[in-house]
């Protein structure tokens, strides 16, 4: 499904190498611009934010890029089932933290923020922890998961132009629930923690 999508951490590693080299400024004609995917309002693109840590229940897993979206949706269904079983309420949008990537796939944490830790701690692949915190850049994608390639290309150009180095993780926060929203109607906030 995501054959053309670049693995986020590999993308960021490449950006780190480019930013560290002395390439000079990017020509004005190729400067990054927020991709327009039919949205009438201007979404944040490269807005600096400070992420606050949130307690999350998450499923650790791995997937290949061809089945990424379906794997993440199934992971969120598993987390939802855990929350329902333990009468826990979500306290914010679902998120995916990419923890490792390569050319064929990635490792992830598919998490849901909660207001308080569960009385009974999970076991197996489900865990309780904290979401990433600190300085990050915020980007917004609207549309299908497959179409995120254009957003990631624009992020790459933006970081290159600004000569910024990214940390070794990447967060997608889903403003529309990927479990219940049609894939082509997604709204995703992409957070790139920076050094």
Averages of pLDDT over runs of 10 residues in the chain (195 residues) are 37 37 32 42 88 96 92 96 92 95 90 90 89 96 89 90 89 96 94 93
CA distance 41 to 52: 26
- The fold of 8-19+53-193 is Multidrug-efflux Transporter 1 Regulator Bmrr; Chain A (3.20.80)
Q: Which residue has the tokens 């070794």?
A: 168
Return the structure tokens found at 3. 């054959």
Q: Which residue has the tokens 């309002």?
A: 41
- Give the residue from 114, 105, 132 showing the smallest Cα distance to 192: 132
Alpha helical stretches, state H, 4-67: 8-20
What are the backbone angles phi and psi of residue 183, rounded to the nearest 5°?
-55, -35
* 18: Cβ contacts below 8 Å, ≥ 6 apart: 160
**Cβ(17)–Cβ(162) below 8 Å:** no
What are the Cα distances from residue 1, in Å, to 81, 185, 191? 25, 16, 22
CA distance 76 to 95: 9
- Output the pLDDT for position 17: 35
CA distance 154 to 64: 23
3-state secondary structure of 84: helix
**Cβ(37)–Cβ(142) below 8 Å:** yes
End-to-end CA distance of the chain: 32
């Amino acid at each position: 499904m995501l054959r053309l999508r670049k693995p986020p951490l590999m993308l960021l590693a490449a950006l780190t190498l480019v930013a560290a080299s002395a390439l000079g400024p990017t020509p004005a004609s190729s400067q990054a611009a927020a991709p327009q995917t039919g949205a009438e309002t201007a979404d944040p693109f490269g807005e600096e934010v400070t992420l606050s840590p949130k307690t999350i229940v998450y499923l650790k897993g791995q997937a290949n890029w061809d089945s990424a979206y379906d794997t993440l949706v199934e992971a969120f269904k598993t987390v939802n089932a855990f929350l329902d079983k333990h009468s826990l309420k979500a306290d914010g949008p679902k998120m995916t933290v990419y923890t490792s990537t390569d050319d064929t796939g990635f490792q992830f944490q598919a998490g849901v923020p909660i207001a308080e830790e569960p009385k009974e701690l999970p076991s197996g692949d489900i865990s309780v922890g904290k979401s990433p915190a600190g300085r990050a850049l915020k980007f917004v994608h609207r549309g299908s998961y497959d179409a995120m390639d254009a957003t990631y290309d624009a992020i790459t150009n933006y970081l290159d132009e600004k000569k910024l180095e990214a940390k070794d993780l990447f967060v997608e926060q889903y403003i529309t629930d990927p479990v219940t929203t049609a894939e082509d109607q997604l709204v995703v906030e992409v957070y790139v923690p920076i050094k």
